[in-house]
Amino acid sequence: MAVVKNFKFRFLLLFMFILLSSQSQHVQASPWAIPGNLILRHDIQVLVDSGVINIPITTWPLAWGDIAYSLSKTEQEMTSFELASFQRIKEALLKEEIGGISANTSLKFAKNPETITSFNDSVGARSEIEGESTYLGKNFAINLHVKKAGGETVFDESYIAVALGDYSISLGSKKNWWGPGWGGSLILSTNANPIPSISIERIFSDPFESKLLNWIGPWDLSLLLGELEHSRTRSDALFFGMRIGSRPLTNLEIGFSKTSLFCGKNRPCGFSSFSDMLLDKTDSGYNLSGFDFRSSHHIKNFPFVLYGQIIGEGISDNHLGLFGLETWGPINNFDQLESYRVFLEAASTSCEFYNNDDSKYGCAYHDSLYPDGYRYKGVNIGHSADGDALVLTLGGIIVAQNSQLIKSSLSLGKLNRGSNYLYKVSQNNNDFFKFDLGYEFDLFWFDIPLGSFDVGLGLDVMKDKVNNTTQKDPRIYVSYSNSLDFNPKKVRNYSEYLALIEVSEDEGIDAEETSETVIQAIDFVIIGELDLFELISLIDQVAFERNPYSEIKNNAGSTETKGLRKQSMDNDLNFGMLLAGGGYDLTEIMLQLDQTIGKRN
């Protein structure tokens, strides 16, 4: 008992220390973007669907290096809406450049925590205390994560990772989310605790150089081999997962996934067993495989995405299905709100979902070779609604200024329609209704960040069709997190990938204003030995003159023109530089000025 009290006391000290002395906003240092961050996923999808970047985005976690490298290759101008997403991603990348040793802690409290989860990082217990210490180097990362929840202390999300060329190898456990769904994934989600495993992932998703395979487009690969809990009925069973995602078209992503429970007590476990499992031979294990797609489109000014996931026991047996529609866009009528995203998703976790056959109840996520089913520590590895569920979810987010987030979802449907004792979310056939509303924000005291908060409320209503009873569980939760860098240092150089990209001109500018600009003699300025103050003044003047909303009319006094060639950014800047206030865009001017200042320092 004294040991437990001492443990809690140390956690309290760590929490107070971070709360009072932290000088940075909450950032989870990692080589990857971890699933659970709704704003980050929204921003990445905005840039992918607008064509700014072209990378696979349905296999989480995503490698930060791939995101940065793809941004560096874009040549597309962005609207102010897209630029806001770009800027948030850029800020996250610049923070992820900082390595060294860092610490993070979080406190979570909930009354009636969620049992049916989604991509959102939810509170999974009545109280959770988490502490994390990370070392992040250029090609090496160590993460020690301790979580105390429900009277149990676990080290989930602890790992050692190393980058080798285009691939990373990690030993430990981290969250995975395979598929395009927001409400769930049929094959691998964050519903269960992450499985301790060795994993290999592709860091950069560049297409094949071979003409024979180049049509596949950008592609990624994820492999993992882990061990399930020893307390299972068939102990020492192994978990295998493999996923390949690609973008053969700029508006289409497809993914192929395979997972398997194999080996274990009184089961063969050698190379031949592994190859049989890969080939999906009979009695080689409990094998799931399938494909998913995500296809983005525009009808006039209305963007939308159609997505789906079909998973079964082999190619043709016992398929489960998930399908969805999502749309997004800017919010122009409210100063404090920036953008929104809305999705509608339907999922059926009954075998042969398209037939609605009662005789198939009890089939999904279950196999006689592994009586505990497709679960880790009693929780489904795939969809959180477990087997024989029919779920319809309407959800949405609103992104406000300073990365504030309003999120909400409404789900209804049926759980465990066959009243099978194998399924854990509900023991009987239940109609259910679920509503959630949350708000995420960063708290500051003047300019000092005090941490990140996530607060919300919800309601679960379960109507038992067997016992004819109704249960209502109102929910309220509070989550707090903060971080501290002990010896911050720059270990990556994502800034090499990031180019200044100018916002495209607003559609409201008249055609006459967007016609070819006449370059006048007065528009040119020769920079020789200007000091920094004069350079800054020049930037201010150019930006003011180029403001499309300025009510000051252009000076028409000078009409003399010069046909001067555009200066190369590779010129020797020691001899001065020619800037055209009307003929150059602001991006080029800023880049040239930055080089000039760098040459003189």
Provide the residue type at 434 as one letter.
K
What is the predicted pLDDT for the residue at 169? 96
- Dist CA 64 CA 53 (whole Å): 13
- Three-state DSSP state, 403: helix
- Dist CA 347 CA 390 (whole Å): 6
- Between 87-101, 224-238, 417-431, 509-523, the lowest mean confidence (pLDDT) is in 509-523
What is the predicted pLDDT for the residue at 592? 64
| Residues 374/366, Cβ–Cβ less than 8 Å | yes
Q: What is the DSSP string of 4-66?
A: HHHHHHHHHHHHHHHHHH--S------SEE-TT-HHHHHHHHHHHHTTS-----SEESEEHHH
Nearest to 404 by CA among 465, 340, 361: 340
Arithmetic mean of pLDDT, 108-131: 90
Helices (H), 225-312: 271-278
The angle formed by the CA atoms of residues 256, 283 and 315, to the nearest 5 degrees, is 30
| Residues 344/368, Cβ–Cβ less than 8 Å | no
pLDDT digits (tens, 9 = 90+) for 461-476: 999 999 999 999 999 9
**Is residue 527 scored above 80 in pLDDT?**
no
Nearest to 382 by CA among 348, 359, 356, 412: 348
Arithmetic mean of pLDDT, 512-541: 49
Residues in the chain: 601
Provide the mean pLDDT of the chain: 82
Structure tokens at 351: 């075998």
pLDDT band at 214 (very low <50, low <70, confident <90, very high): very high
- Segments making up each domain of the chain, as ranges: 32-494, 505-600
What is the predicted pLDDT for the residue at 542? 57
- How far, rounded to the nearest angstrom, does the alpha carbon of residue 465 sit from its chain's CA centroid? 38
pLDDT band at 160 (very low <50, low <70, confident <90, very high): very high
Arithmetic mean of pLDDT, 74-89: 88
Structure tokens at 210: 């071979």
Scan for tokens 């499309």, then name that residue. 548
- The proportion of the chain whose per-residue pLDDT surpasses 70, expressed as a percent, equals 76
pLDDT digits (tens, 9 = 90+) for 265-278: 999 998 999 999 99
477, containing H or E segment: strand 469-485
What is the predicted pLDDT for the residue at 535? 60
Please, is 5 exposed, middle or buried when counting C-beta atoms within 10 Å of its C-beta (0-12, 13-18, 19+)? exposed
Arithmetic mean of pLDDT, 146-175: 92
pLDDT digits (tens, 9 = 90+) for 536-578: 666 666 555 555 444 433 444 333 333 333 333 333 333 333 3
pLDDT band at 501 (very low <50, low <70, confident <90, very high): very low
pLDDT band at 119 (very low <50, low <70, confident <90, very high): very high
**Is residue 168 scored above 90 in pLDDT?**
yes
Write a three-state SS string for 393-405. Answer: EEEEEEEEHHHEE
What is the predicted pLDDT for the residue at 281? 87
- The proportion of the chain whose per-residue pLDDT surpasses 90, expressed as a percent, equals 59
* 365 vs 3, more confident: 365
Arithmetic mean of pLDDT, 168-192: 97
φ, ψ at 264 (rounded to 5°): 105, 175
* 537 vs 111, more confident: 111
**Is residue 20 scored above 60 in pLDDT?**
no
The beta strand positions in 89-126, using DSSP E, are 98-111
What is the predicted pLDDT for the residue at 589? 59
What is the predicted pLDDT for the residue at 476? 96
**Is residue 352 scored above 50 in pLDDT?**
yes
Provide the residue type at 325 as one letter.
L
Which DSSP letter does residue 363 get? -
- Between 185-189, 240-244, 568-572, the lowest mean confidence (pLDDT) is in 568-572
**Is residue 392 scored above 60 in pLDDT?**
yes
**Is residue 512 scored above 90 in pLDDT?**
no
User: β-pairing, 524-527 with 489-490?
Assistant: unpaired
Helices (H), 417-462: none
Neighbours of 298 (CB within 10 A): 11
Arithmetic mean of pLDDT, 14-26: 41
List the CATH code of the domain at 32-494: 2.40.160.130
Please, is 115 exposed, middle or buried when counting C-beta atoms within 10 Å of its C-beta (0-12, 13-18, 19+)? buried
Helices 64-73 and 80-96 pack at an angle, to 10 degrees, of: 130
**Is residue 177 scored above 70 in pLDDT?**
yes
What is the predicted pLDDT for the residue at 508? 37
φ, ψ at 429 (rounded to 5°): -65, 120
**Is residue 311 scored above 70 in pLDDT?**
yes
What is the predicted pLDDT for the residue at 5? 44
339, containing H or E segment: strand 337-348
Structure tokens at 156: 């989930």
**Is residue 213 scored above 60 in pLDDT?**
yes
pLDDT digits (tens, 9 = 90+) for 477-492: 999 998 876 666 666 6
**Is residue 425 scored above 70 in pLDDT?**
yes
pLDDT digits (tens, 9 = 90+) for 361-388: 999 999 999 999 999 999 999 999 999 9
The beta strand positions in 486-539, using DSSP E, are 489-490, 524-527
pLDDT digits (tens, 9 = 90+) for 325-334: 999 999 998 8
From residue 597, alpha-carbon distances to 105, 362, 566, 585 in Å are: 41, 69, 20, 19
What is the predicted pLDDT for the residue at 551? 42
- Dist CA 292 CA 184 (whole Å): 13
- Between 147-151, 461-465, 579-583, the lowest mean confidence (pLDDT) is in 579-583
Q: Which residues contact 419 (CB under 8 A, 6 or more apart)?
A: 427, 428, 429, 466
Provide the residue type at 95 as one letter.
K
